[in-house]
Protein backbone atom coordinates (compact mmCIF):
# COMPACT_ATOMS: atom_id res chain seq x y z
CA UNK A 1 0.00 0.00 0.00
CA UNK A 2 1.35 3.48 -0.83
CA UNK A 3 1.56 6.27 1.71
CA UNK A 4 -1.59 8.34 1.35
CA UNK A 5 -3.35 11.08 3.26
CA UNK A 6 -6.27 13.44 2.91
CA UNK A 7 -5.02 17.01 2.51
CA UNK A 8 -6.65 20.39 2.19
CA UNK A 9 -5.56 22.97 -0.38
CA UNK A 10 -7.54 26.12 0.20
CA UNK A 11 -11.15 25.01 0.31
CA UNK A 12 -10.48 21.80 -1.60
CA UNK A 13 -9.95 18.44 0.07
CA UNK A 14 -7.90 15.92 -1.87
CA UNK A 15 -6.27 12.55 -1.49
CA UNK A 16 -2.49 12.78 -1.78
CA UNK A 17 -0.82 9.50 -2.76
CA UNK A 18 2.91 8.86 -2.94
CA UNK A 19 3.95 8.13 -6.54
CA UNK A 20 5.59 4.79 -7.24
CA UNK A 21 7.16 5.93 -10.53
CA UNK A 22 9.53 8.50 -9.03
CA UNK A 23 12.76 8.03 -7.06
CA UNK A 24 15.34 10.44 -5.66
CA UNK A 25 18.92 10.14 -6.88
CA UNK A 26 21.60 9.20 -4.36
CA UNK A 27 22.16 12.83 -3.39
CA UNK A 28 18.41 13.49 -3.14
CA UNK A 29 18.80 16.48 -5.44
CA UNK A 30 16.98 15.16 -8.51
CA UNK A 31 13.66 13.33 -8.70
CA UNK A 32 13.99 10.61 -11.33
CA UNK A 33 11.19 9.10 -13.38
CA UNK A 34 11.25 5.31 -13.50
CA UNK A 35 10.67 3.98 -17.04
CA UNK A 36 7.24 2.46 -17.48
CA UNK A 37 4.49 1.96 -20.04
CA UNK A 38 0.77 1.56 -19.64
CA UNK A 39 -1.01 -1.19 -21.53
CA UNK A 40 -2.12 1.07 -24.37
CA UNK A 41 1.50 2.09 -24.95
CA UNK A 42 2.66 -1.51 -24.62
CA UNK A 43 0.29 -2.69 -27.35
CA UNK A 44 0.76 0.40 -29.53
CA UNK A 45 -2.81 1.59 -29.07
CA UNK A 46 -4.14 5.15 -28.77
CA UNK A 47 -5.72 6.19 -25.48
CA UNK A 48 -9.07 6.48 -27.29
CA UNK A 49 -9.36 2.67 -27.14
CA UNK A 50 -8.32 2.22 -23.52
CA UNK A 51 -11.63 0.49 -22.71
CA UNK A 52 -12.16 -3.08 -23.85
CA UNK A 53 -15.60 -2.10 -25.15
CA UNK A 54 -13.88 0.37 -27.50
CA UNK A 55 -11.44 -2.20 -28.83
CA UNK A 56 -8.80 -2.04 -26.12
CA UNK A 57 -7.10 -5.00 -24.44
CA UNK A 58 -8.98 -7.10 -21.93
CA UNK A 59 -7.94 -9.50 -19.21
CA UNK A 60 -6.85 -12.26 -21.60
CA UNK A 61 -4.48 -10.10 -23.64
CA UNK A 62 -2.86 -8.57 -20.57
CA UNK A 63 -2.51 -11.95 -18.85
CA UNK A 64 -0.83 -13.33 -21.96
CA UNK A 65 1.57 -10.38 -22.00
CA UNK A 66 2.40 -10.93 -18.32
CA UNK A 67 3.63 -14.42 -19.20
CA UNK A 68 6.77 -12.61 -20.33
CA UNK A 69 7.20 -10.65 -17.10
CA UNK A 70 10.36 -11.11 -15.06
CA UNK A 71 7.97 -11.98 -12.22
CA UNK A 72 5.35 -13.76 -14.30
CA UNK A 73 3.82 -15.99 -11.63
CA UNK A 74 3.43 -13.16 -9.12
CA UNK A 75 2.22 -10.62 -11.66
CA UNK A 76 -0.41 -12.93 -13.14
CA UNK A 77 -1.64 -13.89 -9.68
CA UNK A 78 -1.79 -10.27 -8.56
CA UNK A 79 -3.58 -9.19 -11.74
CA UNK A 80 -6.30 -11.82 -11.28
CA UNK A 81 -6.60 -10.95 -7.60
CA UNK A 82 -7.06 -7.31 -8.52
CA UNK A 83 -9.95 -8.17 -10.84
CA UNK A 84 -11.82 -9.59 -7.84
CA UNK A 85 -10.92 -6.56 -5.74
CA UNK A 86 -12.25 -4.16 -8.39
CA UNK A 87 -15.54 -6.04 -8.48
CA UNK A 88 -15.92 -6.02 -4.70
CA UNK A 89 -15.33 -2.28 -4.32
CA UNK A 90 -17.21 -1.24 -7.45
CA UNK A 91 -14.15 0.12 -9.25
CA UNK A 92 -15.33 0.77 -12.80
CA UNK A 93 -12.25 2.42 -14.31
CA UNK A 94 -9.80 -0.47 -14.62
CA UNK A 95 -9.00 0.19 -18.28
CA UNK A 96 -5.76 -0.41 -20.17
CA UNK A 97 -4.16 2.91 -19.23
CA UNK A 98 -4.61 2.08 -15.56
CA UNK A 99 -2.31 -0.95 -15.74
CA UNK A 100 1.39 -0.49 -16.39
CA UNK A 101 4.72 -2.28 -16.42
CA UNK A 102 8.14 -1.12 -15.29
CA UNK A 103 10.70 -1.29 -18.12
CA UNK A 104 13.84 -2.85 -16.65
CA UNK A 105 17.44 -3.30 -17.74
CA UNK A 106 17.85 -5.48 -20.81
CA UNK A 107 14.28 -4.91 -21.94
CA UNK A 108 12.65 -7.03 -19.25
CA UNK A 109 9.49 -5.83 -17.56
CA UNK A 110 7.22 -6.43 -14.58
CA UNK A 111 3.86 -5.17 -13.39
CA UNK A 112 3.80 -1.87 -11.52
CA UNK A 113 1.68 -1.36 -8.41
CA UNK A 114 -1.98 -0.76 -9.17
CA UNK A 115 -3.18 2.84 -9.28
CA UNK A 116 -6.14 5.17 -9.97
CA UNK A 117 -8.47 2.94 -7.96
CA UNK A 118 -11.77 4.43 -6.84
CA UNK A 119 -15.12 2.98 -5.84
CA UNK A 120 -18.18 4.14 -7.74
CA UNK A 121 -20.53 3.03 -4.95
CA UNK A 122 -20.76 6.51 -3.34
CA UNK A 123 -22.38 7.95 -6.50
CA UNK A 124 -25.24 5.45 -6.51
CA UNK A 125 -28.59 7.16 -6.24
CA UNK A 126 -27.25 10.45 -7.53
CA UNK A 127 -28.25 11.65 -11.01
CA UNK A 128 -30.34 8.51 -11.39
CA UNK A 129 -27.33 6.16 -11.20
CA UNK A 130 -28.31 2.61 -10.21
CA UNK A 131 -26.18 -0.38 -9.26
CA UNK A 132 -27.17 -1.94 -12.60
CA UNK A 133 -25.33 0.91 -14.35
CA UNK A 134 -21.95 0.03 -12.85
CA UNK A 135 -19.73 -2.04 -15.12
CA UNK A 136 -16.18 -3.32 -14.96
CA UNK A 137 -13.90 -1.96 -17.66
CA UNK A 138 -12.78 -5.49 -18.59
CA UNK A 139 -15.24 -8.33 -18.95
CA UNK A 140 -15.26 -11.76 -17.32
CA UNK A 141 -16.06 -14.96 -19.16
CA UNK A 142 -19.60 -16.29 -18.87
CA UNK A 143 -21.60 -19.10 -20.49
CA UNK A 144 -22.59 -16.59 -23.15
CA UNK A 145 -20.14 -13.81 -23.97
CA UNK A 146 -18.68 -11.53 -21.31
CA UNK A 147 -20.00 -10.24 -18.00
CA UNK A 148 -19.21 -6.63 -17.09
CA UNK A 149 -22.20 -5.56 -14.97
CA UNK A 150 -20.97 -5.57 -11.37
CA UNK A 151 -24.32 -6.65 -9.95
CA UNK A 152 -24.50 -9.62 -12.34
CA UNK A 153 -21.08 -11.05 -11.50
CA UNK A 154 -20.61 -14.08 -9.23
CA UNK A 155 -17.60 -16.19 -8.20
CA UNK A 156 -18.27 -18.60 -11.08
CA UNK A 157 -17.41 -15.90 -13.60
CA UNK A 158 -13.92 -15.48 -12.15
CA UNK A 159 -13.47 -19.25 -12.23
CA UNK A 160 -14.67 -19.40 -15.84
CA UNK A 161 -12.24 -16.63 -16.77
CA UNK A 162 -9.38 -18.42 -15.03
CA UNK A 163 -10.20 -21.60 -16.95
CA UNK A 164 -10.11 -19.83 -20.31
CA UNK A 165 -6.79 -18.20 -19.39
CA UNK A 166 -5.34 -21.49 -18.10
CA UNK A 167 -4.77 -19.73 -14.79
CA UNK A 168 -4.62 -22.43 -12.09
CA UNK A 169 -8.09 -23.16 -10.71
CA UNK A 170 -6.68 -23.80 -7.25
CA UNK A 171 -5.16 -20.32 -7.21
CA UNK A 172 -8.41 -18.71 -8.32
CA UNK A 173 -10.25 -20.52 -5.52
CA UNK A 174 -7.56 -19.36 -3.11
CA UNK A 175 -8.01 -15.74 -4.16
CA UNK A 176 -11.79 -15.88 -3.85
CA UNK A 177 -11.77 -17.66 -0.50
CA UNK A 178 -9.18 -15.23 0.88
CA UNK A 179 -11.43 -12.30 0.03
CA UNK A 180 -14.40 -14.13 1.55
CA UNK A 181 -12.45 -14.51 4.79
CA UNK A 182 -10.73 -11.12 4.96
CA UNK A 183 -13.26 -8.52 3.79
CA UNK A 184 -15.24 -7.91 7.03
CA UNK A 185 -12.11 -7.30 9.11
CA UNK A 186 -10.54 -5.21 6.34
CA UNK A 187 -13.59 -2.94 6.26
CA UNK A 188 -13.42 -2.50 10.03
CA UNK A 189 -9.72 -1.61 9.81
CA UNK A 190 -10.36 0.98 7.12
CA UNK A 191 -13.20 2.57 9.07
CA UNK A 192 -11.09 2.95 12.21
CA UNK A 193 -8.30 4.60 10.20
CA UNK A 194 -10.50 7.31 8.65
CA UNK A 195 -10.50 10.92 9.88
CA UNK A 196 -13.35 11.72 12.26
CA UNK A 197 -14.85 14.16 9.74
CA UNK A 198 -14.83 11.69 6.85
CA UNK A 199 -18.24 11.75 5.09
CA UNK A 200 -20.47 9.10 6.66
CA UNK A 201 -22.52 8.69 3.48
CA UNK A 202 -19.39 7.60 1.59
CA UNK A 203 -18.52 5.05 4.29
CA UNK A 204 -22.05 3.66 4.32
CA UNK A 205 -22.31 3.41 0.53
CA UNK A 206 -19.03 1.56 0.18
CA UNK A 207 -19.51 -0.73 3.17
CA UNK A 208 -23.10 -1.68 2.31
CA UNK A 209 -22.32 -2.59 -1.29
CA UNK A 210 -19.02 -4.34 -0.58
CA UNK A 211 -20.70 -6.54 2.04
CA UNK A 212 -23.57 -7.29 -0.35
CA UNK A 213 -21.14 -8.60 -2.97
CA UNK A 214 -19.04 -10.26 -0.28
CA UNK A 215 -22.03 -12.43 0.66
CA UNK A 216 -21.79 -14.06 -2.76
CA UNK A 217 -18.27 -15.15 -1.86
CA UNK A 218 -19.06 -16.18 1.70
CA UNK A 219 -21.96 -18.36 0.54
CA UNK A 220 -19.72 -20.04 -2.02
CA UNK A 221 -16.91 -20.75 0.44
CA UNK A 222 -18.94 -21.38 3.59
CA UNK A 223 -17.52 -18.42 5.47
CA UNK A 224 -19.78 -16.37 7.72
* Residues taking part in catalysis: 93
Select from 58, 186, 36 the least CA-distant residue to 114. Answer: 36
Amino acid sequence: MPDAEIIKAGNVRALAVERFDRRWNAERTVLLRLPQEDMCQTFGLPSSVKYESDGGPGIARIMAFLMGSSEALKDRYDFMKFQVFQWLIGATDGHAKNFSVFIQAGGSYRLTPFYDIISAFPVLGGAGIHISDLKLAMGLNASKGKKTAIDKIYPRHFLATAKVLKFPEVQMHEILSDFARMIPAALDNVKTSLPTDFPENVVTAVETNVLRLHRRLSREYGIK
